[in-house]
């Protein structure tokens, strides 16, 4: 499994990309979408919603299960990928291109607590994957 090195990660299988404007883009990892299987539904947060770190903010449903996606840091939702509401299968096609939402972090220093690719790989190994 390829884990992009330019991204940050959470132990709950979200990826985070820092953007040049200070926002972050959030999605689910390839590992998460492989565990869930074929996606059939995505419920995204509302733009303008303020999220706490680790707050449930997205629901993804597959043919196997429903799962929550958590905010990697506290902040305000500034954009959502509404294309996924009508085409949730895009998460299966390329989970690193099919982002879920963009967030303006309340405190950019919180990003330092996220895992790098190597740290995420170790977290997967400790889960037995």
Q: What's the pLDDT tens digit per position in 67-95?
A: 999 999 999 999 999 999 999 999 999 99
User: Which domains are delineated in the chain?
Assistant: 8-105 (2.40.50.100)
Number of C-beta neighbours around residue 12 at 10 A = 15
Give residue for tokens 């879920």.
100
Query: Average model confidence (pLDDT) for the chain?
Result: 96
Q: Which of 50, 22, 44 is nearest to 91 (CA)?
A: 44
**Whole-angstrom Cα distance, residue 49 to residue 66?**
22
Q: What is the pTM of this model?
A: 0.95
10-40 pLDDT per residue, tens: 999 999 999 999 999 999 999 999 999 999 9
- Give the pLDDT confidence score for residue 2 in this predicted structure: 82
Strand-strand pairing, 56-62 and 66-70: antiparallel
């Amino acid at each position: 499994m390829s884990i992009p090195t330019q991204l940050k990660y959470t132990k709950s299988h979200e990826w985070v990309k820092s953007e040049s404007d200070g926002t972050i883009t959030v999605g689910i990892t390839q590992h998460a979408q492989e565990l869930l299987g074929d996606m059939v539904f995505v419920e995204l947060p509302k733009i303008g919603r303020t999220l706490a770190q680790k707050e449930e903010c997205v629901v993804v449903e597959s043919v196997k299960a429903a799962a929550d996606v958590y905010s990697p840091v506290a902040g305000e939702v500034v954009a959502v990928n509404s294309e996924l509401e009508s085409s949730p299968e895009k998460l299966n096609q390329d989970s690193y291109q099919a982002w879920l939402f963009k967030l303006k972090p309340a405190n950019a220093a919180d990003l330092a607590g996220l895992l790098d690719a190597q740290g995420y790989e170790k977290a997967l190994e400790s889960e037995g994957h």
